[in-house]
Amino acid sequence: MSRFSDHEGKQQQPKLQMNRRSFLKAGAASAIGMGILGAVNALPAKAADAVTNASVPQNGAKSKLHPVIDYGGASVRFVEHNDQWLGTSKLVGTVKNTHEAEMGFALACRGKLTPESQRGYYHFQFVMKHPLNAAIGGFAMNLAPEEIVDGKPSPTKLPIPDPEQMSQHIKDCAYFLRADEVGIGKMPAFAYYSHKMPSMDDMLKDDLTNAIPVTERLPYVIVVMIDQHLETMLASTGYDGISAGQSMRSYHSTGVVTVILANYIRSLGYHARAHHLTNYAATMPPCIIAAGLGELTRTGDCAAHPRMGFRHKVAAVTTDLPLVPDSPIDFGMLDFCRVCGKCAENCPSSAITFDKEPVEYNGYLRWNSDMKKCTVFRTTNQEGSSCGRCMKVCPWNSKEQSWFHTAGTWIGSHGEASSSLLKKIDDMFGYGDEQIEKYKWWLEWPELYKVPAAH
Rg (CA), the chain: 22
Work out whether strand 272-275 and strand 312-319 pair parallel, antiparallel, or are unpaired: antiparallel
What lies within 8 Å, CB to CB, of 453 at 6+ separation is: none
Amino acid at position 38, single letter: G
Pairing label, strands 329-330, 77-78: antiparallel
Strand partners, 274: 317
Length of the chain: 455
Lowest mean pLDDT among 2-11, 271-280, 342-351, 417-426: 2-11
DSSP letters for 110-148:
TTSS-HHHHHHHHHHHHHTTSHHHHHHHHHHGGG-SHHH
pLDDT tens figures, 55-78: 688 899 999 999 989 888 888 999
Per-residue pLDDT tens digits for 370-417: 999 999 999 999 888 888 889 888 888 766 666 666 766 777 777 777
Sign of the dihedral through C-alpha 99, 389, 342, 412? positive
Rounded to whole angstroms, the Cα distance separating 19 from 407 reads 18
pLDDT at 410: 72
For residues 4 and 237, the answer to whether their CB atoms sit within 8 Å is: yes
Host H or E run for residue 182: strand 181-186
What pLDDT is stored for residue 310 in this prediction? 87
What are the φ and ψ backbone dihedral angles of 323, each rounded to 5 degrees? -135, 165
**360 pLDDT band (50/70/90 cuts)?**
very high
d(CA 233, CA 148): 32
CA distances from 342 to 345, 346, 372, 426 (A): 5, 6, 20, 10
Residues facing 360 on adjacent strands: 365
What is the percent of the chain where pLDDT is above 90?
Answer: 60
Residue 73 backbone class (left: φ over 0; alpha: ψ -120 to 50; beta: rest): left
Strand partners, 400: none
pLDDT band at 428 (very low <50, low <70, confident <90, very high): confident
Residue 7's pLDDT is: 40
Residue 324 CA, chain-centre distance (Å), reads 23
pLDDT at 138 over 50: yes
d(CA 338, CA 280): 31
Q: Which residue has the higher pLDDT, 39 or 260?
A: 260
Amino acid at 123: H
Q: What is the pLDDT of residues 80-120, one digit of tens each?
A: 888 899 999 999 999 999 999 999 999 999 999 999 999 99
